[in-house]
């Protein structure tokens, strides 16, 4: 068993990764609440945004503009998908809606593999300027990117919770989570609220893509399937609570990274989100009630 000292750097990386999982998880929860869609293409959108940013920076574009392009790309693709297929699938059950986003995932995945071929063995990387600076905390070196990861996670989770609680648009989103038809009857512009949710979720996908490309790897497959870790956090919160999503994301990030220095399990540490989510789903499903009306929602 490694000593406490050896764990410390992994706690820092774990918190940073957890922060990014949290912001992705929050994006997924908000979109699910407003539209009933589990957005499985979240990771692929972020990955493609990060790759575009990489190419733009390589072509000489100012960094800040390239980052904005990444966020804009995430927002645009997600909003376009939501506007075209959201209404078409609005009355279908959640499973169909989620499966359809797998279609978007495949399209983006194929496009990324086509445009940024990996077979050449070239390693791409995207570094944010926050990597170079930092401070030491005890014996551990902390980079500003890690601070940014956790900070953005906390900020987004807090801001989203407040947004849903106190603003008119947020209230409308919560109402739509309960019943889309009744909300529409009450005069809420359902389409516009949904569009806002899609756009917000897409921009968050771009942010997560940038941060994860820097912290983990700029690789289409890795980033596309990292969404599963964030999804795990959202699932533990049953796609409902922002607070639970945040806590679960931090726990997943921490556990995943703190297993690294333990030799016996270190090669299995990436299983953490899957295992935690699977266990959580099974435990939470115990109190499921089967009724006709719930089956059809």
Site for other proteins in 103-122 (CB under 8 A): 103-111, 113-114
Binds other proteins by CB under 8 A, chosen from 69, 76, 95, 216: 95
Residue 28: exposure state from Cβ atoms within 10 A (0-12, 13-18, ≥19): buried
Residue from 63, 91, 192, 240 in contact with other proteins (CB under 8 A): 91
74 within 8 A of 233, measured Cβ to Cβ: no
Name which of 12 and 100 has its Cβ closer to other proteins. 100
Q: Does 93 bind other proteins (CB under 8 A)?
A: yes
- Helix, coil or strand: residue 119: coil
Would you state the structure tokens that stand for residue 265, as one six-digit string?
């399990």
Residue 39 in contact with other proteins, rule: CB under 8 A: no
Residue pair 79/205 in contact (Cβ under 8 Å)? The answer is no
Part in contact with other proteins (CB under 8 A); list of ranges 99-107, 120-128, 188-196, 204-212 = 99-107
Beta-ladder partners of 142: 135
User: Considering the rule CB under 8 A, would residue 100 count as an interface residue with other proteins?
Assistant: yes
Least distance CB 74 / other proteins (angstroms): 18
SS3 state at 163:
helix
Q: Which residues, numbered 210-229, are part of the site for other proteins (CB under 8 A)?
A: 221, 224-225, 228
Going by the DSSP 8-state scheme, the letter that residue 92 receives in this structure is S
Q: Tell the smallest beta-carbon distance from residue 260 to other proteins (Å).
A: 14
Segment lying near other proteins (by CB under 8 A), choices 54-62, 127-135, 158-166, 272-280: 272-280
Q: Minimum distance between the CB of residue 150 and other proteins, rounded to whole angstroms?
A: 24
* Gap between the Cα atoms of 252 and 248, Å rounded: 6
How far apart CA 274 and CA 33 sit, in angstroms, is: 22
CA distance readout (Å), 23 to 31, 128, 244, 247: 12, 18, 12, 11
Q: Contact residues for other proteins (CB under 8 A)?
A: 38, 85, 88-89, 91-96, 98-100, 102-111, 113-114, 221, 224-225, 228, 231-232, 235, 267-268, 270-271, 273-275, 277-278, 281-282, 285-286, 288, 290-292, 295
């Amino acid at each position: 068993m490694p000593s406490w000292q050896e764990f410390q750097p992994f706690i820092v990386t774990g918190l940073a990764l957890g922060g990014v999982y949290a912001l992705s998880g929050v994006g997924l929860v908000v979109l699910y609440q407003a539209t009933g869609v589990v957005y499985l293409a979240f990771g692929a959108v972020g990955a493609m945004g990060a790759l575009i940013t990489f190419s733009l920076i390589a072509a000489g574009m100012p960094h800040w503009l390239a980052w904005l392009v990444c966020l804009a790309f995430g927002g645009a693709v997600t909003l376009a998908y939501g506007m075209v297929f959201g209404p078409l699938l609005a009355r279908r059950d959640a499973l169909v809606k989620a499966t359809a986003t797998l279609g978007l995932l495949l399209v983006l995945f194929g496009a990324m593999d086509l445009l940024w071929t990996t077979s050449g063995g070239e390693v791409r990387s995207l570094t944010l300027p926050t990597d170079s600076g930092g401070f030491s905390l005890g014996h551990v070196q902390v980079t500003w990117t890690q601070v940014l990861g956790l900070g953005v996670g906390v900020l987004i989770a807090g801001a989203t919770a407040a947004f849903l609680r106190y603003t008119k648009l947020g209230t409308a989103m919560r109402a739509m989570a309960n019943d889309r038809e009744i909300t529409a009857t009450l005069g809420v512009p359902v389409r516009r609220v949904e569009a806002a949710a899609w756009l917000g979720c897409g921009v968050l996908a771009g942010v997560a893509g940038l941060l994860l490309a820097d912290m983990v790897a700029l690789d289409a497959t890795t980033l596309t399937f990292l969404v599963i870790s964030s999804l795990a956090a959202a699932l533990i919160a049953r796609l409902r609570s922002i607070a639970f999503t945040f806590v679960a994301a931090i726990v997943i990030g921490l556990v995943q990274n703190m297993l690294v220095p333990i030799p016996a399990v270190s090669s299995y540490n990436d299983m953490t989100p899957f295992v935690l989510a699977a266990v959580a789903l099974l435990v939470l499903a115990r109190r499921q009630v089967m009724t006709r009306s719930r089956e059809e929602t």
